[in-house]
Structure 1
């Protein structure tokens, strides 16, 4: 069945009847246009492998290790991380649906609710956060390269003169790893898919090998699991649990928005849903358990929690083991970084300047901004990593997720008009290309979520009584507050103030 502009297939997927209808649109290019059906070929395994590649990485490892370093025992850290990933799976799957049904990336999906121009607001917000993540991952990968070369070259490399607080060889390693990733992203989305398919299993082996090595040194699993929590199960634990849970959810808050960038290539809803259910909670729980056991073991073996796996790998005396372990760490970092932190902002930046930027050039821009953000400062301490970086941006992006879920599922009932997402003056043009209701809802949700941002004395950039003191209690629940406030406020504003002109008269069936 077809309308004048879009075709509905029996499996529920929709495509433009004539792609040439967007040829003269200033808001379309080859990367942003809806994916044609023959190109939607990702299977359940592709999505599971994608999540394995994205979840089995050093920052994921640092999540669990950071909780142990903050005083949780293995069970408390495992519960916190597993619960967080089960919660974030809900908005992730809800927003993924549009990508598979219509073949559109996240910034185009956002146009339905923010406006064709207004979608640049959430897209660029998400893009700059991804740039921060790209920088963090690249810094970690560069450290691994620095250690590997140091094992082979000796003290002349590791004890090189310092620049900016680090040996100049660290900066060289950082730059080299940056270039490697830029080459991979230049190969495009299909090159990424092939890389993920073979890299993901190797990463799993590397983390398991590190855990086994620590188990041998610690005398088995028993002594590790017997370690008591420094926090107990009373008020000290619950004080840390809530903001830690929000941080765990926020870790994938970026992907909960832009997963349509990947699900647009899906063979069907079943493939992407099952691929993600298999891929995200299971692999994150696995890496959390490995990280918890390994980090807890370092307390027994070395007397303190070593939360950085690169630093931990350096403690082993055999240079072959160190080199192999860190090569795996580099693969893990690259696998996650290119998929999670370059693909999506590339679409986002291209959405802002579709005539000037394509997928590849926008990827280069992402890499440059990732350096400017100075990622080495963001992972200097576990409390800053979890409570400042993750909790703050999680609250911002949750309000965007609330708007998208309210608009797509509750207001539009999953019915979108593809051509109108790219053409001025149509259904999603609103007022000069902007829907003020979505912007206000996002700002309101963000204000409630992070307006009370606070830091413990000496542990972050925020005042101890919060940026806005009376909102301080909400900051411990930043992601949940942002999601609820964004969703409810957008729903209320849309119901009380009609949003669209009646110019689009053709109807679409619901699937």
Structure 2
């Protein structure tokens, strides 16, 4: 029986197959495959999405914080660029699956962990996203609180004034997120130009007050030997990779709406590394300038904002709030809300998932994570990169090496289907994850193996790829030769038909 149809490289369920699984406990309107009509995102939509997410305060703090750790400007810029080029690879590899089959991340995870086991990678991703949600909310809170103190000095005397701002700003974030993923396109198109222009203005200020490029570029590296530099470089590189390792996993949540593979590949390949590198350079340049202007490196933009007049603080706060809202809705709510929704698709909605995400973000104490740069890049970014690297590796290995881009879409929504494995769990995925996480952890326990932990994402990714591919080599869930063609109607694109008619 033909259950799916492929057109221009995009696969959808047939009407008959949709009717068969629409009452399944694994199906709801958010988790179902997208229709051809819903594949409406053009390249420009992915470009503005990434620009809007890259032009955020955590990008600024990550880059400029490397100056505080002792790097000079070109060492920091090089680290940022290399890290983003590396993480772009798994992003594009996982984007292909989302675009071709129109499935969100939790459904994609059913392939490699089973319909129940999928909760392991999706909830792991959800915890990280919730942490980022809290970090961005805390950054916005600091900016708003700074504005209020500068404008109304008595505000600082109000007990718990920062907590009050945090609760109100948290509620604003949740309120926007509750409206769902479609708000992302509109929010990104507004935020990208506003934050971009503001960044250029900040760079101009830094140049004029620091006396041009000279003082910025002349700030030397504080490392006396290559060994000293590498001790900071490798964990910093892992932090840069870990920064978007989250999106590398749940990028299908967005690419399931792509018009074509080409549009999303070109747009993402250009917008992510270029935007991150340019914006990071601005953060680095401004932080280097603060050493000249104020005598110390101020890597926190909120602290820098506090040194300006109230009107400038007002404008800066608006920019920071817009930036925080954009990345929170785009990068930090969709994945956990979907993961929570996947726990009980027939009862839990995306909106409820968004609210639970916000509550969990508070429990992760973002004020502690952001209290110093060591907590941020070595603790937060490094730790979750060690967890997400192996999951990224399993996803890539399953789709590209094990299944070779062929799967039975309908079976992803069958509780006892081919992707249920044993009682809903794929033990091979669990084994690969455990091994992929355990080996880098040895670097924490054995000093001579420290390089394993400093490069946890990279080692975890390749280890899990090898282990998972080996364990799945004879798995019954993999389609046999010719089976994909038996269940798939392949439609010839209209323009190809016209071309054939012309030649005939």
Instruction: Indicate the TM-score class for this superposition, using the shorter chain for normalisation.
Output: over 0.9
Cα shift at 1:13: 0.1
Q: Is the 8 A contact 2:49 2:184 kept in 1?
A: no
The aligned counterpart of 2:300 is 308
Distance in structure 1 (CA, Å) of the matches to 2:12 and 2:448: 49
- Out of 215-224 and 35-44, give the one that drifted further: 215-224
Matches within 5 A, 1:59-70: 59-70=58-69
The aligned counterpart of 1:164 is none
Cα shift at 1:183: 1.4
Over the aligned positions, Cα root-mean-square deviation in angstroms equals 1.8
Cα shift at 1:500: 2.8
Matches within 5 A, 1:181-220: 181-220=173-212
Matches within 5 A, 1:371-382: 371-382=362-373
Distance in structure 2 (CA, Å) of the matches to 1:418 and 1:501: 12
Deviation string 1:46-83 (CA, Å, 9 cap, x unpaired) is 00000011110000101111100000000000000000
Of 287, 291, 302 in structure 2, the residue corresponding to residue 299 of structure 1 is: 291
Cα shift at 1:469: 5.4
Q: TM-score, normalised by structure 2?
A: 0.93
The aligned counterpart of 1:487 is 465
Cα shift at 1:151: 2.5
Deviation string 1:95-146 (CA, Å, 9 cap, x unpaired) is 0101110110111011111111111110001101110110011010111111
Cα shift at 1:308: 0.3
Of 148, 156, 159 in structure 2, the residue corresponding to residue 158 of structure 1 is: 156
- Out of 186-195 and 284-293, give the one that drifted further: 186-195
Q: Is the 8 A contact 1:80 1:241 kept in 2?
A: yes
Distance in structure 1 (CA, Å) of the matches to 2:34 and 2:338: 13
The aligned counterpart of 1:456 is none
The aligned counterpart of 2:496 is none
Q: Is the 8 A contact 2:35 2:102 kept in 1?
A: yes
Of 1, 5, 12 in structure 2, the residue corresponding to residue 7 of structure 1 is: 5
Q: Is the 8 A contact 1:44 1:274 kept in 2?
A: yes
Deviation string 1:158-205 (CA, Å, 9 cap, x unpaired) is 2433xxxxxx11111111111111111122222221111111110111
Q: Is the 8 A contact 1:96 1:263 kept in 2?
A: yes
Distance in structure 2 (CA, Å) of the matches to 1:296 and 1:39: 46
Cα shift at 1:501: 8.1
Cα shift at 1:150: 2.0
* 1:478 correspondence with 2:456: yes
Distance in structure 2 (CA, Å) of the matches to 1:339 and 1:141: 16
Cα distance change on mapping 1:191 and 1:228 into 2, 3 Å: same
Q: Is the 8 A contact 1:185 1:360 kept in 2?
A: yes
Of 373, 377, 387 in structure 2, the residue corresponding to residue 386 of structure 1 is: 377
Aligned residue-pair number: 486
* 1:229 correspondence with 2:228: no
Distance in structure 1 (CA, Å) of the matches to 2:419 and 2:310: 59
Cα shift at 1:503: 10
The aligned counterpart of 2:127 is 128
The aligned counterpart of 1:17 is 14
The aligned counterpart of 2:498 is none
Distance in structure 1 (CA, Å) of the matches to 2:61 and 2:404: 39
Distance in structure 2 (CA, Å) of the matches to 1:225 and 1:315: 23
Distance in structure 2 (CA, Å) of the matches to 1:481 and 1:405: 14
Distance in structure 2 (CA, Å) of the matches to 1:303 and 1:151: 22
Distance in structure 2 (CA, Å) of the matches to 1:233 and 1:287: 28
Deviation string 1:317-341 (CA, Å, 9 cap, x unpaired) is x211111012101111111111000
Cα shift at 1:419: 0.8
Matches within 5 A, 1:405-424: 405-424=396-415
- Out of 424-433 and 132-141, give the one that drifted further: 424-433
Matches within 5 A, 1:42-121: 42-121=41-120
Q: Is the 8 A contact 1:103 1:264 kept in 2?
A: yes
Structure 2 residues not aligned, in runs of 5+: 491-504
Cα shift at 1:471: 4.8
Q: Is the 8 A contact 2:433 2:464 kept in 1?
A: yes
Cα distance change on mapping 1:277 and 1:502 into 2, 3 Å: closer
Cα shift at 1:232: 4.4
Of 433, 436, 457 in structure 1, the residue corresponding to residue 427 of structure 2 is: 436
The aligned counterpart of 2:358 is 367
Q: TM-score, normalised by structure 1?
A: 0.92
Structure (1 or 2) with the greater helix fraction:
2
Of 321, 324, 334 in structure 2, the residue corresponding to residue 343 of structure 1 is: 334
Cα distance change on mapping 1:329 and 1:491 into 2, 3 Å: same
